[in-house]
Structure 1
Amino acid sequence: MVLIPIAHTTPINPPTTTPTLTHQQIWTGLLRKIHHAEEFVPIISSCEVLSDTDGVVERVVTFKEGQFARREARETVRCFGREWVDFEQSDGTRIRNVVGRGGGGGELYMSYMFEVLVEGEEGSDGVEGERGRLRDMAKKAVESSIDTIRAMVKDGRIPAE
């Protein structure tokens, strides 16, 4: 088994996008994502919340056919401030969604960080192929989540500020 760490960061409000999203709108979207992952991540087909107690959510997500060797993942989800959401899967995989500021004007960025256990040996074709696939998936997941939050602000599911 090999642990593959992957991270991808995207600006939330590039110059050509509207509406401009606030930190609160992004956070509201990430909180919704905990309960409705399939609305935000294209490779997830369903999300069943098993419990939501004291800020800890237990859930099962089902992946679309052909995305992973396994079809489901049981996750424990925790929020840390209004800065990041941590998803820990029963197999040891960890995913973190982070909202941060950067640049001279305090621009908003979203980062997704993955630690995924995969079968194989470091440097093997299979592991390197999986590393490339995970990089693409991380980029798509970040961009899809931002696009979904923006659409939810436009249609009123997330309040405009």
Structure 2
Amino acid sequence: MATINLAYTSKINPNGASPVLTRAQVWTGLQRKIRFAQEFVPVIESCEVLKDDSGVVERLVKFKKGMGPKDEAREVVRGWEDCWVDFQQDDGTHIRNIVSDGPSGDESDLHMTYMFEFRFPHIEANSAEAEKEKTRLKAMSKKAVESSIDVIREMVKDGRIKA
């Protein structure tokens, strides 16, 4: 079995970004992402909430054909306000979305990191196939972080996020 660990960080408010996003706005966006993942991550086709109980969400995510790490994933999702959201999949795959302060400590100096621990029972560890999958997933993780930030910014612009 291959386990592929990746992380990607992007600045939430790079120079010239408008509007400048606050931690509260980003957190509100991540809460929406729990229930409507397809709005934020381009490789996700649909997200069905199966259970929503006291901040613990069980959901079924379907990926676009050939674009995700698998066809679908059943997940238990928990958020720790206002810092991170954990996505635990049935196969042991673990994903975390983290909002952190940048070096200046200024409210607008925020970063978003997505950490991935992908499990592939059908791929041999350290194989050529595992390396190929890692390269593909690196590109996907960068796109997932940047797309999520862009979508949150658009939702603030159009009023869907007011926090």
Q: Which amino acid aligns with 2:159?
A: G
Residues 2 and 126 of structure 2 are in contact (CA less than 8 Å); yes or no, is this contact kept in structure 1? no
Question: How far is 1:105 from its partner?
Answer: 4.0
Query: Quick one: distance in 1 between partners of 2:70 and 2:111?
Result: 31
Match of 1:40 in 2: 40
Is the deviation greater in 112-121 or in 46-55? 112-121
Answer yes or no: is 1:2 the counterpart of 2:2: yes
CA contact (8 A) 2:33 2:40 kept: yes
What residue number does 1:113 align with?
115
Partners in 2 of 1:46 and 1:150 — Cα distance? 21
Matches within 5 A, 1:126-141: 126-141=129-144
Q: Which amino acid aligns with 1:137?
A: M
What is the aligned partner in structure 2 of residue 150 from structure 1?
A: 153
Q: Secondary structure at the match of 2:126?
A: coil
From the superposition, tell whether residues 69 and 140 of structure 1 become closer, same or farther in structure 2 (CA, over 3 Å).
Answer: closer
State the match for 2:84 in structure 1: 84
RMSD: 1.3
* Cα pair 2:21 2:153 within 8 Å, conserved: yes
The one-letter amino acid of 1:154's match is: K
User: Within 2, Cα distance between the matches of 1:112 and 1:139?
Assistant: 8
**Could you tell me how far 1:112 is from its partner in structure 2?**
0.2
Distance in 2 between residues matched to 1:68 and 1:101, nearest whole Å: 29
Aligned mates of 1:18, 1:69 — CA distance in 2:
32
Q: Does 1:65 align with 2:65?
A: yes
Unpaired runs of 5+ residues, structure 1, are none
Q: Give the share of equivalent positions with the same residue, in percent.
A: 56
Post-superposition shift, 1:69? 6.7
The count of corresponding residues between Structure 1 and Structure 2 is 160
Secondary structure in structure 2 of the residue aligned to 1:103: coil
User: What are structure 2's unaligned runs of at least 5 residues?
Assistant: none
Say which SS state the counterpart of residue 7 (structure 1) adopts: strand
Query: Given the two structures, how large is their TM-score scaled by the length of structure 1?
Result: 0.95
Task: Tell me the residue number matched to 1:13.
Answer: 13
The alpha-carbon distance between structure 1 residues 58 and 151, as it changes in their structure 2 partners (threshold 3 A), is same
TM normalised by structure 2 equals 0.94
